[in-house]
């Protein structure tokens, strides 16, 4: 299993204790090799790694947030002519969570970084950036990102990624491998509180800045559709990447085996955030030493599904004793997904967001600009 951590392509590190895969490897009885890596982020570039042991014909790419989005991009790589890994696990992210665009769409970020580093007036601005002290470049990059002036995302470069990601998905231009994909129940709450949005007016401004093609009527419709948190009426409804992941799962399930999940475990110390983005990680990595009772059982169960999927291509083959059978996400089973919750994992039909999916379908052209 090859873990790619999240962090919005801006920050993160593979050595965080929450990413310790020891228990997950143990629960696989030695059948899984766990690899954590660091990769260059924000203005410093893309990922790099050294070779590692194991069977190169049995690699499972596993990532969360930006890590999951990276897996989605790699499934589209070179118009799927290369199969870079044999299975994928995408947690709280997909190729549609942050739409890849042609590089010209990010020219403004490049120009802004030049201005912030004093390289804008240099004859060779790229060489100027290369000659900067790393701390100077990092300070400028972080400051620009924090003020929403800079965007660091993979782009359609004509080589690795040949076309806009949503188009590639519709055309079936992705590697045909088994995948696990899913989201937390309240992905977006932690972002709303950390970004400081106090009301829907501020959120509307942010939506327009991030998606210039959105019409005012579409923005109002978004605010209406995502205003269902009754206890905290000024927070937008916390779904974040859930609708995007539904689209990806439905596109994939037509041609490859897909297992979908819905994580709904609430941290008792921050009840108002619900099952927020990243709150599942201690369960994904079976950090059961910090859990007890039913929570520890759930962590064992989730880790056993993922390790079984890595070994056999099916999460049920070596699942934890007593764990329920995880059905594939298919039309004929009415889009059944597993629900991770303390007490017992159950199954449900993933059709409750149908109205929102239809809305995003109707404005898809506005999101391309």
Whether 141 and 135 have beta carbons less than 8 Å apart is answered as no
Q: Which residue among the candidates 28, 49, 57, 65 is catalytic per the annotation?
A: 65
CA-closest candidate to residue 24, choices 289, 276, 334, 329: 289
Cβ atoms of 158 and 76 within 8 Å: the answer is no
Judge whether 288 counts as a catalytic residue.
no
Please provide the size of the chain in residues.
Answer: 369
**Residue 366 CB neighbour total at 10 angstroms:** 15
For residue 207, with 0-12 CB atoms within 10 Å meaning exposed, 13-18 middle and 19 or more buried, which class applies? middle
CA–CA dist 316, 368 (Å, integer): 39
**Would you please indicate which residues are annotated as catalytic (active-site) residues?**
65
């Amino acid at each position: 299993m090859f873990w790619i951590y999240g962090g919005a392509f801006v920050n993160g590190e593979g050595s965080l204790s929450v990413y310790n895969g020891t228990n997950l490897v143990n629960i696989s009885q030695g059948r899984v090799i766990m690899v954590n890596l660091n990769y260059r982020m924000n203005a410093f570039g893309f990922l790099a790694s050294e070779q590692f042991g194991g069977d190169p014909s049995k690699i499972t790419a596993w990532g969360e947030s930006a890590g999951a989005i990276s897996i989605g991009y790699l499934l589209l790589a070179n118009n799927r002519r290369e199969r870079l890994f044999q299975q994928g696990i995408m947690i709280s992210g997909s190729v549609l969570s942050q739409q890849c665009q042609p590089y010209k769409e990010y020219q403004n970020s490049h120009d802004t970084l030049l201005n912030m580093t004093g390289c804008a007036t240099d004859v060779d601005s790229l060489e100027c950036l290369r000659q900067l002290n790393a701390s100077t470049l990092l300070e400028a990059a972080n400051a620009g990102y924090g003020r929403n002036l800079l965007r660091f995302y993979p782009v359609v470069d004509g080589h690795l990624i040949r076309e806009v990601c949503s188009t590639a998905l519709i055309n079936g231009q992705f590697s045909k491998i088994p995948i696990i994909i899913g989201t937390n129940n309240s992905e977006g709450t932690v972002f709303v509180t950390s970004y400081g949005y106090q009301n829907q007016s501020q959120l509307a401004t942010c939506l327009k800045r991030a998606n210039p093609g959105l019409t005012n009527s579409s923005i109002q419709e978004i605010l209406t559709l995502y205003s269902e948190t009754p206890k905290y009426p000024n927070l937008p409804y916390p779904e974040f990447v859930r609708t995007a992941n539904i689209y990806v799962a439905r596109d994939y399930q037509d041609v490859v085996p897909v297992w979908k999940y819905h994580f709904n475990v609430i941290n008792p110390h921050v009840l108002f955030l619900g099952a927020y983005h990243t709150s599942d990680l201690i369960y994904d990595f079976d950090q059961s030493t910090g859990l007890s009772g039913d929570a520890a059982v759930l962590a064992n169960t989730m880790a056993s599904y993922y390790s079984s999927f890595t070994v056999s291509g099916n999460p049920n083959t070596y699942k934890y004793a007593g764990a329920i059978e995880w059905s594939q996400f298919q039309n004929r089973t009415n889009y059944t997904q597993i629900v991770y919750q303390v007490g017992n994992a159950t199954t449900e039909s993933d059709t409750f967001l149908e109205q929102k999916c239809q809305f995003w379908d109707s404005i898809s052209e506005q999101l391309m600009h």
